[in-house]
Amino acid sequence: MSYCRWSSDNWRCDLYCYEDVSGGITTHVASNRVVGEVPEALLSLLLNGKSEEFLVAHRKQMAFLETAKREIIGLPYDGESFNDPDYQSFLERLVYLREVGYNFPDHVIEEVKEDIVRETQETSWRSFRLG
């Protein structure tokens, strides 16, 4: 499962975060950002049956990204990758990366908090059943 990708928030996301098949949660930090406003290709167009409009918008978006200038982010963890063993460690890393100045969608922190609660409840239920 992916929490966010470079394309999240219309290509303004500095992180790519996902549950790693080899264990833990992996975070890749971008080393650069797109300069300028990326044309939006809203998924809501697809959901409302406007697939042709979405395809036109998506083509504009991809054309912009192909030639877009990029600038170095210039923060301490540019280009680095991390693997956190659990959701709590991952949450702490996200909060820290946000404080340092990296961009990612607000919903990511909320999703991780929900995963922490879910994991705690599952662990409690297993302990209860085994106890």
Are residue 27 and residue 80 in the same domain, yes or no?
Answer: yes
Are residue 62 and residue 89 in the same domain, yes or no?
Answer: no
Beta partners for residue 33, in sequence order: 71
Q: What is the pLDDT of residues 24-49, one digit of tens each?
A: 999 999 999 999 999 887 777 667 78
Are residue 13 and residue 52 in the same domain, yes or no?
Answer: no
Please name which of 88, 93, 77 lies closest in space to residue 115, comparing C-alpha atoms. Answer: 88
| Paired tokens of 50 | 């406007």
pLDDT value of position 64: 95
pLDDT value of position 130: 53
Are residue 64 and residue 77 in the same domain, yes or no?
Answer: no
Are residue 85 and residue 121 in the same domain, yes or no?
Answer: yes
Are residue 17 and residue 61 in the same domain, yes or no?
Answer: no
Are residue 87 and residue 113 in the same domain, yes or no?
Answer: yes
Question: What is the total count of domains within the chain?
Answer: 2
Are residue 105 and residue 51 in the same domain, yes or no?
Answer: no
| Paired tokens of 7 | 């394309």
90: left (phi over 0), alpha (psi -120 to 50) or beta: alpha
Q: What is the pLDDT of residues 68-112, one digit of tens each?
A: 999 999 999 999 999 999 999 999 999 999 999 999 999 999 999
pLDDT value of position 50: 77
Tell me the H-state helices in the chain.
8-11, 43-47, 51-67, 87-100, 106-130
Provide the pLDDT confidence category of residue 120 given band limits of 50, 70 and 90: confident
Please give the model's pTM, rounded to 2 decimal places: 0.84
Are residue 25 and residue 79 in the same domain, yes or no?
Answer: yes
State which residues form the domain around 51: 38-71
Are residue 99 and residue 120 in the same domain, yes or no?
Answer: yes
pLDDT value of position 94: 98
